[in-house]
Structure 1
Amino acid sequence: MPIHNQICGQTQKANCFYILLHPKLYVTTMNFDLLRQLCAIHAPSGEEAPLTDFLLEYIGQAQQNWKVKPTILHGDGWQDNIVLVFGQPRTAIFAHIDSIGFTVRYDNKLVPIGGPDTENGYKLVGKDAHGAIEATMVADEEGEILCIDYPRVVERGTSLTFKPDFRETEDFVQCCYMDNRLGVWTALQVAETLENGIIVFSTWEEHGGGSVAYIAKYIYEQYAVKQALISDITWVTEGVKHGEGVAISIRDRGIPRRSYVNKIIDLAKASGLKYQLEVEGAGGSDGKELQSSPYPFDWCFVGAPEDHVHSPNEKVHKADIAAMVGLYEYMMKHL
């Protein structure tokens, strides 16, 4: 897939102070061409390599215009993860690059990857040795018995993902896999001006994790970094609304150390950017791996909320995206 031939957002790139002074202008000038491309890449958990290759090519071009060129860690020993090290890092951003999806089992039956929404009629895409596949999901009323309507038997082990349909209006962007291609996009925006910090593009998050633990070991032992931000996308709920700002999660299934979360909230207040506090009892992120690692990492999930979670129609408000980018820039300067 070709990389957008302009470095996304360079001509209208704004730090958080610009967002504060001109929020409407910044929202209307955000360039989502890169996000569109990210959402279209087939990279469910375990098959992140196509997105890894795309990101390495993009970073190789884009870093020429970044304030600081990072050290890029990838390849042998890193599996499909990418770690970018800028200057003298104090804080790491974790953004997972995998998505939910499905694995074809026997006789065109499906096994979920992660927790995808299941509904009759969803379009799924992929490819096997016989060619490209575009199939229709068939599900029972409970969404538990899954298969595809397709004129031939698809090779067992083939992965399928939602067919991308990127939509943009004045206020919203919508497509499959905003979770977490939008978190990845945000990290790439922050990379343009980041002087000191680490950005981790991690894998397997949607299906139990597995990569963050050894990455945490490396960055703690090599750089003494022990605080993290999770650049991921959360849910619109009765307490977290579209257009009310980026969500700072006090807890989900995991409970981060409250003194660190309070520090993040204080920075959000100082930034003047719109934010909202989230309290949930379910859901998880790369933070759970950091918390269960043998290293003293503090972490906090900070991300824009989306509607239609884990479906082909994930929907995020542009004002929340602007607040997310601005707050990450601010936090990486002050943490």
Structure 2
Amino acid sequence: MNKELLKNMCSIYSPSGNETAIRDFIVNEIKDYVDEIKIDPLGNLIARKKGPGKKIMLAGHMDQIGLMVTFIDENGFLRFTNVGGLAPAITLSQRVIFENGIIGVIGSEKLESIKDLNLDKLYIDIGASSQKEAEEMVSIGDVCVYYSEPIIDDKKVVSQALDDRIGCFIMIEALKALKDSENDLYFVFTVQEEVGIRGAKTSAYTINPDFGIAIDVTTTGDTPNAKKMAVKLGNGPAIKVKDNSILCHPVVKNTMIKRAKENDIKYQLEVLELGGTDSGAIHLTRSGIPAGVISIPTRYIHSNCEMCYLSDITGAIELTVKLVESEFVE
């Protein structure tokens, strides 16, 4: 497990629509392991490892959720809107950082009841004393992200942006581990997933793969009073059956299960009642593409302290390698 690589990836500022920094980092990391690297007009990074067989597209999104400045008041406090899914209760009191390094804290107006808490009641305090001072530091339309130090020990990783830097990390490590493949592989690091799986839609149209695989996080049912769900940390990568955007194709799902069993890779099956991944766009591209998802069980998604187990990450890397290096089960 390359913990330093994972930590570095989780620390890079790259909200939806501004994925340049993480894309440049990934290019430098994978350039010696692929035959071609392209960046499409929307900003997706498409890395190809050539092979004689079917075209397989793997997708992990580079972007993270963020907060965009909409208004600066006379005292220098910033109002904002969401870029991706933000929960007010999680956002309150968080530290945030802008692309230029300015750090702020999320504060709240006086509330009569915590039930009144919503994003309209929150503001960003960057320590400015006036509108003029604040405007010298940030501008309308600037985006910040949660700011905290990633923590990785012998069992788990806790960080912001695991959704979906962990998927990108798994793709990178799988690419490094691959020797020869019977398939023609496209590792696609997508943009703007958090605001409508946009990058996967355009890149899948360009590649027109025979099969598509998204690698992303999923929620768990293993915390106190959690919604009943048969996914938990430590039980291996999850092979998705369905979510709100896709019913995974049986050829892809069954091939994942077969490869896991053949190689003694611990796995679990996932039925997610809400949410979606890049596969939701991939499978509807052109005349339709059989697609599925390898999911990483993750607690506290869309917070600054998303948590997953290293054992599940390792299992996902191994499953990805075994899945793409041979033929799919028709």
TM-score (norm 1): 0.82
| 2:50 alignment counterpart | 87
Q: Residue 157 in 1 paired to residue 141 in 2?
A: yes
Q: Residue 279 in 1 paired to residue 254 in 2?
A: no
Give 3-state SS (helix, strand or coil) of 1:231's partner. Answer: strand
CA displacement 1:12-69 (0-9 Å, x = unmatched): xxxxxxxxxxxxxxxxxx2211111111111110001111122222223xx1xx4xx3
**Conserved in 2, the CA contact under 8 Å of 1:97 and 1:202?**
yes
**Conserved in 1, the CA contact under 8 Å of 2:212 and 2:283?**
no
Q: Residue 121 in 1 paired to residue 93 in 2?
A: yes
Structure 1 unaligned residues grouped into runs of 5+: 1-29
Give 3-state SS (helix, strand or coil) of 2:197's partner. Answer: coil
- Of 62, 80, 90, the residue aligned with 1:97 is 62
**Conserved in 2, the CA contact under 8 Å of 1:252 and 1:279?**
yes
Give 3-state SS (helix, strand or coil) of 1:102's partner. Answer: strand
- Of 18, 22, 31, the residue aligned with 1:51 is 22
1:226 deviates by 1.5
- Of 246, 264, 285, the residue aligned with 2:256 is 264
| 1:249 alignment counterpart | 240
| 2:75 alignment counterpart | none
**Conserved in 2, the CA contact under 8 Å of 1:39 and 1:164?**
no
Provide the identity percentage. Answer: 24
Q: Residue 110 in 1 paired to residue 86 in 2?
A: no
Structure 2 unaligned residues grouped into runs of 5+: 73-77, 129-133, 222-228
Q: Residue 239 in 1 paired to residue 230 in 2?
A: yes
Q: Residue 136 in 1 paired to residue 105 in 2?
A: yes
| 2:193 alignment counterpart | 205
CA displacement 1:181-222 (0-9 Å, x = unmatched): 1110110011113334110011000111222222112212xx
Letter in 2 for 1:71: E
CA distance in 2, matches of 1:322, 1:271: 13
CA distance in 2, matches of 1:57, 1:143: 40
Q: Residue 317 in 1 paired to residue 309 in 2?
A: yes
Runs of 4+ with deviation above 3 angstroms: 139-143
Give 3-state SS (helix, strand or coil) of 2:283's partner. Answer: helix
1:127 deviates by 4.0
CA distance in 2, matches of 1:47, 1:82: 13
Give 3-state SS (helix, strand or coil) of 2:48's partner. Answer: strand
Q: How many residue pairs were aligned? A: 291
CA distance in 1, matches of 2:163, 2:199: 18
Letter in 2 for 1:218: T
CA distance in 2, matches of 1:188, 1:256: 24
CA change 1:100–1:208 in 2 (3 A) is: same
Q: Residue 39 in 1 paired to residue 10 in 2?
A: yes
| 1:303 alignment counterpart | 295
TM-score (norm 2): 0.83
1:333 deviates by 1.5
CA distance in 2, matches of 1:102, 1:149: 13
- Alignment RMSD, CA only? 1.7
CA distance in 2, matches of 1:266, 1:134: 48
Give 3-state SS (helix, strand or coil) of 2:71's partner. Answer: coil
Letter in 2 for 1:80: G
**Conserved in 2, the CA contact under 8 Å of 1:180 and 1:233?**
yes
CA change 1:292–1:127 in 2 (3 A) is: same
CA distance in 2, matches of 1:328, 1:34: 18
Correspondences of 1:182-201 after superposition (within 5 Å)? 182-194=166-178, 195-196=180-181, 197-201=185-189
CA distance in 1, matches of 2:177, 2:29: 16
Give 3-state SS (helix, strand or coil) of 2:303's partner. Answer: coil
